[in-house]
Structure 1
């Protein structure tokens, strides 16, 4: 984000006025569009409000903007007396379309992190740089000759990567499959997007966990799906409700995250696994199993996926590199019947003509390399260390104001606050105190729940971050 140069001889207000005039001339703020308020712009630029007031006054004197009491400051429709022309109503376009924007809390978190990167980040789902295999991947890239062909590749994904995944899935997840039943995607979210857009229709009913990561994805609402809840407790999702949902709403698909579920960190127990598969087979319902966290099991003994128990071919299995290696590679995968893989590969080819070959080559090399297992061991150890730092900080700062079950894998700690407070107020107060988190209502729960993700924050920032959160919570309570 642009900031005025405090070392420049030009006054700050003139720099701001010039910058805004340039953005207006580029069409970023078309005629008639609303500018940020003086207070908000001052916060974004790190200046006093009086400086922004002077900048606005300069632009008003040139006829570039106009202010009206109660309606804010807008770009003039008749700048410099020019003949008015018809400008597209970009605001209407931005608010239109069928694909919904991110939920407001997630947009607010992203805005806060952009404005202040020093915030302790308990919200982001990606690994911190120290947990990613940066040195190992750099070593592989130096020692491997990558293809000189940079054209479009197989729409199902780079064949050597699918072959490497076939071996990986057998060894680490006990899933028997073939390369023709694997589709490479840019991550779990693209896999879910393809499923919701291509295998379901507007008005279809689906069952998702409650709370669930799926609630944070507007793609489900954008696809016109009706979402029905399957409650999650400390033993995972409760499958008994599936029959009732099928009778009442004719649900067409079940979405589940059985191992170290996001956001609760729970693991589906054996009895419920068997029951879920039994009911799905009885009703002929497909299950979409999202399994990003299994290999982070701190004991090093990952629970098998539902897909490894699938005897009827009912499960679409989704995996990703993002939570165990490097989100920047943008590599995910889907295991499904070949007819489904071909359908979704065709749809994905219409979107982007396939993924870049080079990240797929890097991912394939890493999966087959001697670096992969040592990386997993180090990742588990460091995630466990960060989890313990987080728990220690919460027990120190909020011993009587927070409740949680301790996860045995994954990236998240799901907490209930005692007493419950307003989500929006708590998030804003926490931002003021230097920390962000995700309110539980983003995942479909009531107010008074929070998700702390400990994979992103630096170890030395976890204690101060929880101290900032505790201060914010106490200020709201008292």
Structure 2
């Protein structure tokens, strides 16, 4: 006899309901037939009677069964009629498919923020509203009120935006490219999704940083890729680890975020950058460089991307507006060989026929405007101020309970909690205290790390938020 799987992530009652529904649909229990009593079925399946009560309640809610006092529980006659018919089991469909859901911690964070918008948010990766150039963009829209075209644009993206990006990349990132080598996307995640779906195959091995933002994206596992880790220290990844992974696992691609890495804030040093490019070229391995934070360098010259030193065309370069201007525009880009751009543009066109021309037009205008450079200066100044507020609060409230490296750019501060702590308990205690953070295990680290994102919270809320976090940590380690 079938038994529920106690190791499954599905609740026992849901497994029982699904099994009964399937057996009813196959005619094992015809319309009007009597089902086992709750107590008897519980004994047969080796579960508590309350579990069967929940399973029967689920089926009653769907109209599949009906219960009457003194008559027991029967398969519904009115619903099935002569020929069994019933509502699709959407729960089963939602659990199926090859595209995996977000990790539980990320879903819990989003659920908590939706339930309580007043939580002080150190978990979300977007800019606070006071860091977004709203006035400048409103001015650009008022200066150019009439757009003459609202149809589909080139699959690679809106022409004027790609032209603006050619100039921007040369001036600010030292990357010299052409319009035909640029693909506009809805952001870095869509760029990564297109790469994993179109340039790699199930079973391929790829290298990602450890810890890494990539680890939090189920798209890699959904694509059937095997992930192998490159440990990140204070100087970034070690290129010799790539050679070792290639020898053992025949990795086919490297995913890296060398400038103010997410989540650690690490800046990869120049010696390792040169070694990384040399190693990749020797092995014929492509590098996917995600570069969202370089222009946030607080008090130094923005570090050059790997792509600017790429003379062999080994690097696929990904950029985005989200971390330096406005996540709501949903505008990102990729610089790649034209054959790759055409392949990914074709795939993206199958998904959505191209992005909206309106945000693309606005992004192109903003990049080319006199507003862009002053906005970057204000952004850097405000991020530095918020970073320093966060560090001051951590040193005041937690003292020897946390260890961290001070980042010189980016949005994040990566902390190690010195006493042993359970990530799940710490997250729940923080939420109860009115503050939310991202546990380090979301990014593949061992338990006991936390990523504080200071770009989202209001400056005046940062000391309050760290005080609340300190109380939550104290309650967790008692």
* TM-score category, normalised to shorter length: 0.7 to 0.9
Once the two structures are TM-superposed, the CA of residue 312 in structure 1 deviates from its matched residue by 0.5
Give the direction of change, closer, same or farther, for the CA distance of 1:79–1:300 in structure 2 (3 Å limit): farther
Once the two structures are TM-superposed, the CA of residue 244 in structure 1 deviates from its matched residue by 1.0
CA offset digits 1:343-370 (Å, max 9, x no partner): 0000000000000001000000000000
1:300 touches 1:380 (CA, 8 Å); kept in 2?
Answer: no
Equivalent residue number for residue 296 of structure 1: 296
Equivalent residue number for residue 117 of structure 2: 117
CA offset digits 1:39-85 (Å, max 9, x no partner): xxxxxxxxxxxxxxxxxxxxxxxxxxxxx734545325257974344
Once the two structures are TM-superposed, the CA of residue 338 in structure 1 deviates from its matched residue by 0.4
Equivalent residue number for residue 410 of structure 1: 410
Separation in 2, partners of 1:247, 1:76: 54
CA offset digits 1:154-193 (Å, max 9, x no partner): 0000000000000000000000000100000000000000
Any residues of structure 2 matched to 1:65-144 within 5 Å, and which?
A: 69-70=50-51, 72=54, 74=58, 75=61, 77=63, 78=65, 82-84=78-80, 85-144=85-144
1:146 touches 1:358 (CA, 8 Å); kept in 2?
Answer: no
Matched residue SS, 1:316: strand
TM-score of the aligned structures, taking structure 1 as reference length = 0.85
List alignment gaps of at least 5 residues for structure 2: 1-16, 19-48, 68-75
Once the two structures are TM-superposed, the CA of residue 477 in structure 1 deviates from its matched residue by 1.1
Once the two structures are TM-superposed, the CA of residue 147 in structure 1 deviates from its matched residue by 2.2
CA offset digits 1:105-161 (Å, max 9, x no partner): 000000000000000000000000000000000000011134232111100000000
Equivalent residue number for residue 45 of structure 1: none
Equivalent residue number for residue 273 of structure 1: 273
Equivalent residue number for residue 13 of structure 1: none
CA offset digits 1:21-45 (Å, max 9, x no partner): xxxxxxxxxxx79xxxxxxxxxxxx
Separation in 1, partners of 2:404, 2:140: 41
Any residues of structure 2 matched to 1:42-53 within 5 Å, and which?
A: none
1:251 equivalent in alignment to 2:251: yes
1:215 equivalent in alignment to 2:196: no
CA offset digits 1:387-440 (Å, max 9, x no partner): 011001100110010000000000000000011211001000100000111100
TM-score of the aligned structures, taking structure 2 as reference length = 0.85
Separation in 1, partners of 2:155, 2:452: 37
Separation in 2, partners of 1:268, 1:222: 29
1:420 touches 1:449 (CA, 8 Å); kept in 2?
Answer: no
Equivalent residue number for residue 452 of structure 1: 452
1:261 touches 1:267 (CA, 8 Å); kept in 2?
Answer: yes
Which has the greater radius of gyration? 2
Matched residue SS, 2:289: strand
1:234 equivalent in alignment to 2:234: yes
Equivalent residue number for residue 314 of structure 1: 314
The count of aligned residue pairs is 415
Runs of 4+ that moved beyond 4 A? 78-82
List alignment gaps of at least 5 residues for structure 1: 1-31, 34-67
Equivalent residue number for residue 362 of structure 2: 362
2:79 touches 2:86 (CA, 8 Å); kept in 1?
Answer: no
Separation in 1, partners of 2:425, 2:339: 48
Equivalent residue number for residue 372 of structure 2: 372
